Structure 1
Amino acid sequence: MENSPVDVATKWFTAYSSGDFEGMKRLAASDYVFEDPAFGRLEGKRAIGMYKMFISGRDKTEAVWNVHEVKPEPTNPQKAVVRFEAVYKFNGRPVTNQISSNILVVDGKVKEQIDSFDFPGWAAQSLGIFGWLFGSFSFLQNSVKQKANARLDDFIAKHPEL
């Protein structure tokens, strides 16, 4: 089935891994929603804009996304679960982040993506000793969300075509 959640999620991550933002944009629902521990909840233009920001920054961050598994979500036939690894540099520090992504597909489009990962582990890698010490505290996660969203808003302001 060409528009099964597994097929659409596979196409989504193939486009992401290859830096094909237009391919991702074609696969995203107009009301696409993204959520993860670093950004919180993003909707529409901000959600898809985050991917444009990541893809356009690949040269600087040396980002690589490796998909390990795409499978149906056992309790919802409209969902797929993707396990992948993001390897990149954050402020010059090497980061390897294991991520689980729950993808909701409606009418052949990615409508919702909820990513989960070990935030304290990510903080230790990306922020050094400060992240290691305070990664499990909500104040650090809130600070990261504020900075990530400010960076995204700045990027979107510079890319009105989104």
Structure 2
Amino acid sequence: MEKLVTSFYTAFANLDAEAMANCYHKDIVFEDPAFGVLHGEHAKNMWRMLCASQKGKDFIVTFSNIEINENIASAKWEAKYNFSKTRKRVHNKISAQFQFKDGLIIKHVDTFNLHRWASQAFGFKGKLIGGTSFFKKKLQKQTHTLLSQYETKN
């Protein structure tokens, strides 16, 4: 399982969305503060969309502290990039939890401080409202719209 998690993040660092998707079970459930809960192909397409949007840009992913316990794993990872909407530099620190089935990732939950992320991505406005449920709901609506547009085109 450690090799699978390492492969997943190595693929992400290389912006290889197909290799990332190949680490996921067909019934994957993904969750994070920005996208909420995504199932199956939607979760895979989220990574495809994110990787495509970062190609040729100053994007860095690092990972560490992979810990495995039976069919559960955890890892820490960081992403450094310029947020597309504002061009502000973001350094997001994420904790990931994984569950496995049939040798693949069946559940993936990323947690991070959304208020801290919003403060970096949106500046003063993010600092003001980034910790609110209103902001989280609006962000998830926007990310779902972007994902739907991406899926329609591809």
TM-score (norm: length of structure 2):
0.93
Q: 2:2 aligns with which of 6, 11, 16?
A: 6
Deviation track 1:21-71 (CA, whole Å, cap 9, x = no partner) reads 221222211111110001000001110000001111113653211112211
Q: Is the 8 A contact 1:38 1:141 kept in 2?
A: yes
Match of 2:112 among 114, 117, 141: 117
Name the % identity.
29
**Matches of 1:120 and 1:68, distance apart in 2:** 23
- Does the residue aligned with 2:15 lie in a helix, a strand or coil? coil
Aligned residue runs from structure 1 range 86-101, under 5 A: 86-90=79-83, 91=85, 92-101=87-96
Work out whether 1:78 is the aligned partner of 2:71.
yes
Aligned mate of 1:102, from 82, 94, 97: 97
1:67 and 1:85 in contact (8 A); partners too: yes
Of residues 132, 138, 141 in structure 1, which corresponds to 2:133?
138
Whole-Å separation in 2 of the counterparts to 1:62 and 1:155: 22
Cα 1:60–1:132 shift into 2, 3 Å: farther
Aligned residue for 2:96, secondary structure, equals: strand
Q: Which piece of structure 1 moves more, 20-29 or 89-98?
A: 20-29
Report if the CA contact (8 A) 2:61-2:79 is conserved: yes
SS in 1 for 2:51: helix
Output the CA distance in 1 between the equivalents of 2:91 and 2:137. 21
Q: Any unmatched runs of 5+ in structure 2?
A: none
Amino acid at match of 1:154: Q
Where 1:136 maps in the other structure, the secondary structure is: coil
Q: Which of 112, 127, 147 is matched with 2:122 structurally?
A: 127
- The answer to whether the aligner puts 1:18 opposite 2:34 as a matched pair is no
Tell me the distance in 1 between the aligned counterparts of 2:137 and 2:11.
30
Q: TM-score, length-normalised on structure 1?
A: 0.89
Helix, strand or coil for the counterpart of 1:68?
strand
The question of 1:49 aligning with 2:64 is answered: no
RMSD: 1.3
CA distance in 2, matches of 1:128, 1:150: 23
